[in-house]
Structure 1
Amino acid sequence: MIDEYDTINEMLLPFWALKPATIRSRIASALGHEDSALLAVAVRHGAVENFQGGEEWQQQATIGMMKPFVQYLPDMDLGFNMHDEPRVVVPNDLLASMVAKARDETLPRAAKNTAPRNAFSNRPDDMNDGTRFIESSTTKFNRFAHQQTWTHSRLSCSANTQAQTFEDYAADNLTAYATSELGFIYNTTAFSDICNSPSLSSTYGFFERPNAFSIIHELTPIFSQSKISSFQDILYPSPWYWIGKVGYDEAHDTTWENKTNSLYWRGSTTGGFSRNGGWRRQHRQRVVQRINAPDTAQILEPVAAAPNAKPATTKYKVTDVDRKALRNLIDVHFSHVGQCDPGDCDAQKEFFKVTERVDGQDAWYYKHLLDMDGNAFSGRFYSFLKSRSLTYKMALFREWHTEWLKPWVHYIPLSLRGDEHLDLVRWFSGTHVFDDDEDGKKDRSDADGGKGGNGQSEGERKARLIAERSTEWHDRVLRNVDFEAWFFRLLLEYGRVVDDKREEIGYPGPIFNGVRKKDMR
Structure 2
Amino acid sequence: MIDAKARHEELMEKRSSNLKSAAVRYRERRGRHPPPGFDKWVEAAIESDAIIVEDFFDRIYTDLAAYWSLKAEEIAGRASSWWLVVKVRNGTAEGVGDVEGRVIWLQLWTELVAEFAQHLPDVDMPINYMDESRILVPFDEITKLREKEKESRKMTPVQETTTQFKGLKHIDTAKLEPYDPRWLNSDDGSYWDMVAKTLVQDWKASMDPCQQPYLRQLHGTFVKPVSLSTTEELIPLFGGSKLLANNEILIPGAMYLVNDEFYAGGEFHGIPWKDKKDGVVWRGEASGGRAGEDMWKHFHRHRLVQMLNGTTVSQMEDKDECAPTFEMPSRRLYNSEHLSHGQIGHWLKENADAGFVNLCPPDECPFLAPYYHEVDRIPMKEQYDVKFLPDVDGNSFSARYRGLQRSIPRPSPLDKHASQGDDICRVAR
**TM-score (norm: length of structure 2):** 0.71
Match of 1:20 in 2: 72
Equivalent residue for 1:42, pick from 87, 101, 113: 87
Q: Residue by residue, what CA displacement relative to the aligned partner does 1:354-378 show, whole Å, maximum 9, x if unpaired?
A: 4233333321221111111111111
Asked if 1:332 is matched to 2:354, the reply is yes
More relative contact order, 1 or 2 (CA 8 Å, 6+ apart): 1
Letter in 2 for 1:237: P
Compared CA separation, residues 6 and 134, structure 1 to 2 (3 A): same
What SS does the corresponding residue of 2:93 show, helix, strand or coil? strand
* AA aligned opposite 2:70: L
SS in 2 for 1:12: helix
| 8 A Cα contact 1:224 1:235, kept in partner | yes
Residue type of the partner of 2:62?
E
Cα deviation for residue 71 of structure 1 reads 2.0
Are residues 1:136 and 2:178 paired?
yes
Question: Is the contact made by 1:385 and 1:471 (CA closer than 8 Å) also made in structure 2?
Answer: no
Contact 1:254 1:364 in 2 (8 A): yes
State the 1:353 CA deviation: 4.9
**CA drift at 1:92:** 1.4
Q: Distance in 2 between matches of 1:159 and 1:203?
A: 22
CA distance in 1 between counterparts of 2:421 and 2:295 reads 36
Measure, in 1, the Cα distance between the counterparts of 2:103 and 2:353.
35
Paired-residue identity, %: 24
What are the within-5 Å matches in structure 2 for residues 243-254 of structure 1? Answer: 243-245=258-260, 246-249=263-266, 253-254=270-271
Check the 8 A contact 2:89/2:122 in 1, yes or no: yes
Whether the 8 Å contact between 1:386 and 1:471 is mirrored in structure 2 is no
Q: Is the 8 A contact 1:90 1:155 kept in 2?
A: no
Q: C-alpha deviations, 1:417-455, integer Å up to 9, x for none?
A: xxxxxxxxxxxxxxxxxxxxxxxxxxxxxxxxxxxxxxx
1:260 to 1:64, Cα distance in 2 relative to 1, 3 A: same
For 2:359 and 2:422, locate their aligned partners in 1 and report how far apart those are by CA, in whole Å.
34
1:121 corresponds to which residue?
A: 165
- The 2-side partners of 1:367 and 1:190 are apart by 32
Residues 469-480 of structure 1 mapped to structure 2, 5 A cutoff: 472-473=426-427
Q: 2: distance between equivalents of 1:145 and 1:358?
A: 40
* CA–CA separation in structure 2 for the residues paired with 1:472 and 1:97: 39
Gap change, CA 1:241 and 1:466, over 3 Å in 2: farther
| Aligned alpha-carbon RMSD (Å) | 3.5
Q: Does the Cα contact within 8 Å between 2:86 and 2:125 map onto a contact in 1?
A: yes
User: TM-score scaled by structure 1?
Assistant: 0.59
- Give unpaired runs (5+ residues) of structure 2: 1-49, 318-327, 410-416
- Secondary structure at 1:227 match in 2: coil
Q: Where do 5+ consecutive residues of structure 1 fail to align? A: 32-37, 162-188, 303-316, 390-460, 478-521
Instruction: Show CA shifts across 1:310-345 (max 9, x none).
Output: xxxxxxx9974522242223222222213x8845x2
Partner SS for 1:101: helix
1:6 to 44, 47, 58: 58
Q: How many aligned positions are there?
A: 348
Q: Equivalent residue of 2:394, what SS? A: coil
Given candidates 393, 398, 407, the residue that maps to 1:373 is 393
Partner of 1:279: 296
Structure with the larger strand share: 1
Please tell me whether residue 384 in structure 1 is matched to residue 401 in structure 2.
no
* 1:91 partnered with 2:138: yes
Task: Give 3-state SS (helix, strand or coil) of 1:154's partner.
Answer: helix
326 and 13 in structure 1: CA distance in 2 versus 1, 3 angstrom threshold: same
Q: 1:211 to 1:470 in 2, by over 3 A?
A: farther
Structure-2 change in CA distance of 1:149 and 1:136 (3 Å): same
TM-fit CA distance, 1:386: 1.5
> What is the DSSP-based 3-state SS (H/G/I as helix, E as strand, rest coil) of the residue aligned with 2:126?
strand
Report the 3-state secondary structure (helix = DSSP H, G, I; strand = E; otherwise coil) of the residue aligned with 2:291: coil
**1:52 aligns with one of 84, 87, 97:** 97
Secondary structure (helix, strand or coil) at the match of 2:171 reads: coil
After superposing the two structures, state which structure 1 stretch, 221-230 or 66-75, moved more: 66-75
Going from structure 1 to structure 2, the CA distance change for 1:286 and 1:190 (only over 3 Å counts) comes to farther
Q: Deviations along 1:294-322, whole A, 9 cap, x unmatched? A: 335457559xxxxxxxxxxxxxx997452
Q: Which has the higher helix share?
A: 2
The list of structure 1 runs, each at least 4 consecutive aligned residues, that deviate by more than 6 angstroms after superposition, is 464-467
Of residues 180, 194, 199 in structure 2, which corresponds to 1:152?
A: 194
TM alignment of 1:74-89, pairs within 5 A: 74-89=121-136
Q: Which of 349, 352, 356 does residue 369 from structure 2 map onto?
A: 349
Could you give the per-residue CA deviations for residues 73-109 of structure 1, whole angstroms, max 9, x where no partner exists?
22222201111111100011211111111112x21xx
* In 1: Cα distance, 2:335 partner to 2:265 partner: 36
**Which secondary structure state, in structure 2, belongs to the residue aligned with residue 195 of structure 1?**
coil
Inter-partner Cα distance in structure 2 for 1:122 and 1:360: 47
